[in-house]
Amino acid sequence: MALDDTAEHHLIGAVNLRFAYLGLISDVARHAGHADILVEQIRASDRRPDE
C-alpha cells in the first residue's frame, strides 16, 4: 500500500496510511514515557532494603 491510499474510518471518514502511521507513532512515543516511569519505579523498589 502507498502512504496516500485511503480507507474509510467509521468515526472520522476517509484516512490515508500516512495518518494511521502518524497516529501509531505518537501513541508509541506517548506510552514509551509511561513505560520508562514504571521501569524506574521497579528499579527503585529493588534498591530498598527489605522490611
**pTM score, two decimals?**
0.55
Q: Residue 8's pLDDT is what?
A: 93
Q: Residue 33's pLDDT is what?
A: 78
pLDDT tens digits, residue range 5-49?
Answer: 999 989 999 999 999 999 999 888 888 778 788 888 888 887 766
In angstroms, the CA 42 to CA 5 distance is 43
pLDDT tens digits, residue range 2-15?
Answer: 999 999 989 999 99
In angstroms, the CA 48 to CA 41 distance is 11
